[in-house]
Amino acid sequence: MKIPAFLVAFLALAVAACSGTPAHGPHDTEKARQPIEIRPGFFRGYLDDAELPNSLALVPPAPVAGSPTQAADNTVSAAAYALRGTPRWRLASSDADLRFPHAAGLFACALGTDISADAMPATYRLLQRSLADAARSNHSAKDHYKRPRPFVLDQQATCTPDDETHMHDDGAYPSGHAVIGWTWASILAEADPARADAIFQRGRSLGESRLVCHVHWNSDVVEARVVADAVVARLQDNAEFQSDLATARRELAAAQAKGLAPKQDCKAEADTLARTVPGAL
């Protein structure tokens, strides 16, 4: 099953495990700095419970049926669903998978190089650990509003059918995937400011993929960026995050200097992403 399951099982485990972040001495090996795995594929974040942003306090109430915002969301949703069966639909399905190592390649074209655990351990670790912080920060609003997803209301297919049973009862607002994608974009843009435009464009398209998949509304994605911004702001005071970020800058610069181009077809990705969803913000 793909990543949406983290919004139930992972959050419960992460909260139990995140009582604090252990300090590391200057002579620790890179192996010793690998993130603590809470369960296979899911890692402890940088932030402890008290440091997490409260998404419920950050976003406005979820749009309700009959409201102007819901009407606008309906229009965007219909436009996004028209992409069903196209290359954009297939890319949205790929974007939905936030498991590693797949997730580490989502920004490869924007960065001009692949991110691997072997070649870029600090950059890889940034993505793994910040995913946990972003997911946990988003939980309070999602759990409070429990906004029904588009496919729940209209019974249409999604691009991730294996996840539909879980997502049926998992709130849509804000989008967890979009929080994670925008958090990653913000962090990677810090690591490689020269490529910030391409990185943020890819971060935006990851959120748009949730519209194409028919599992989120436009306002779910828009408000997710607010939560992500709060997560990244909190991370700025975390010493381990700053250490990994500094190392990630060097890793990315070294990989780009060596001309280590991404393995995927970046022209095909760019051509696919050129077809944006009308009305999406």
Q: Which residues are catalytic?
A: 177, 210, 216, 220
Please, are residues 81 and 216 in contact by the beta-carbon 8 Å criterion?
no
CA 264 to chain centre: 20
- HSE toward the beta carbon, residue 6, CA cutoff 13 A: 29
Nearest to 121 by CA among 270, 26, 248: 248
Please, are residues 278 and 76 in contact by the beta-carbon 8 Å criterion?
yes
Residue type, 222: V
CA 198 to chain centre: 16
**How many residues would you count in the chain?**
281
* Structure-block tokens of residue 148: 């029904």
Q: CA-to-CA distance for 156 and 150, rounded, in angstroms?
A: 8
Residue type, 227: V
In 88-241, DSSP assigns E strands to none
Please, are residues 66 and 47 in contact by the beta-carbon 8 Å criterion?
no
Between the CA of residue 21 and those of 35, 72, 127, what are the distances in Å? 10, 42, 16
Nearest to 53 by CA among 279, 220, 226, 214: 226
Q: CA-to-CA distance for 186 and 188, rounded, in angstroms?
A: 6
